[in-house]
């Protein structure tokens, strides 16, 4: 753990925060991966209307955000001058291959930046649009943002697959059986992402 001394007060931050955050990011990436696996190429580009985003557009936005926020994470503002945010919401991605390349590139940037953050004090400030964030605040901001958009991807996928959708969580009607299995074990330390269908 880290111990900081600010204004005479001792502030303790558990060193496992970054590990936990990384697992959460991996969990949301996995939800996206499993959704893409269930969908046809056409479904990735389906839009309910011209005013709605397709999965491909959401991925393009996530990629743009990830590359901007996490490139040189500790030293330059998270809103890079080279980012073209408005273009992220256009039909830029044209194939599944393109989509997966950007998806993997964005997440790779996230995980590399988290790894570099393990070497700095947790009260280090990083900036997003000139607003200072602690490392924890910056990570929490992006964690919530990505969960929001991955949720959109899953909802679109589930709607398109309808009855053929393979649940990414505990299937409906199986909660009691699943809980019985979990509570049959002794209490132990772990992370929920280590278990299937949480």
Which CATH number goes with the domain that contains 64? 1.20.120.450
Residue 122's pLDDT is: 76
Q: How far apart are CA 192 and CA 185, in angstroms?
A: 14
Q: Please check whether residue 67 lies inside any domain of the structure.
A: yes
- Which residues have a Cβ under 8 Å from the Cβ of 26 and sit 6 or more positions away? 193
Containing domain of residue 98, as a range? 21-194
Residue 15's pLDDT is: 62
Q: Please check whether residue 12 lies inside any domain of the structure.
A: no
Q: How far apart are CA 116 and CA 121, in angstroms?
A: 11
Q: Please check whether residue 16 lies inside any domain of the structure.
A: no
Q: Please check whether residue 167 lies inside any domain of the structure.
A: yes
Residue 81's pLDDT is: 97
Tokens for 45?
């580009």
Tell which phi-psi region holds residue 142, choosing left (phi > 0), alpha (psi between -120 and 50) or beta. alpha
Q: Please check whether residue 175 lies inside any domain of the structure.
A: yes
Residue 175's pLDDT is: 87
Q: Please check whether residue 8 lies inside any domain of the structure.
A: no
Measured CA to CA in angstroms, residue 137 lies from 56, 128, 186 at distances of: 28, 11, 34
Which stretches of the chain drop beneath a pLDDT of 70? 1-15, 195-198
Considering the entire predicted model, what is its pTM?
0.89
Q: Please check whether residue 5 lies inside any domain of the structure.
A: no
Q: Please check whether residue 147 lies inside any domain of the structure.
A: yes
**Number of domains making up the chain:** 1
């Amino acid at each position: 753990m880290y111990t900081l001394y600010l204004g005479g007060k001792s502030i303790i931050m558990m060193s496992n925060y970054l590990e936990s955050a990384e697992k959460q990011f991996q969990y949301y990436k996995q939800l996206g991966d499993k959704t893409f696996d269930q969908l046809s190429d056409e479904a990735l580009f389906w839009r309910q209307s011209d005013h709605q985003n397709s999965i491909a557009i959401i991925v393009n936005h996530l990629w743009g955000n990830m590359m901007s926020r996490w490139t040189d994470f500790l030293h330059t503002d998270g809103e890079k001058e080279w980012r073209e945010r408005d273009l992220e919401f256009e039909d830029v991605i044209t194939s599944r291959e393109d989509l997966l390349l950007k998806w993997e590139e964005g997440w790779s940037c996230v995980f590399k930046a988290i790894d570099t953050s393990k070497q700095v004090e947790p009260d280090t400030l990083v900036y997003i649009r000139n607003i200072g964030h602690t490392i924890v605040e910056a990570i929490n901001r992006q964690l919530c943002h990505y969960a929001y958009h991955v949720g959109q991807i899953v909802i679109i996928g589930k709607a398109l697959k309808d009855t053929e959708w393979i649940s990414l969580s505990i299937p409906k009607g199986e909660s009691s059986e699943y809980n019985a299995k979990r509570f049959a074990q002794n209490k132990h330390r772990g992370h929920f992402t280590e278990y299937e269908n949480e």
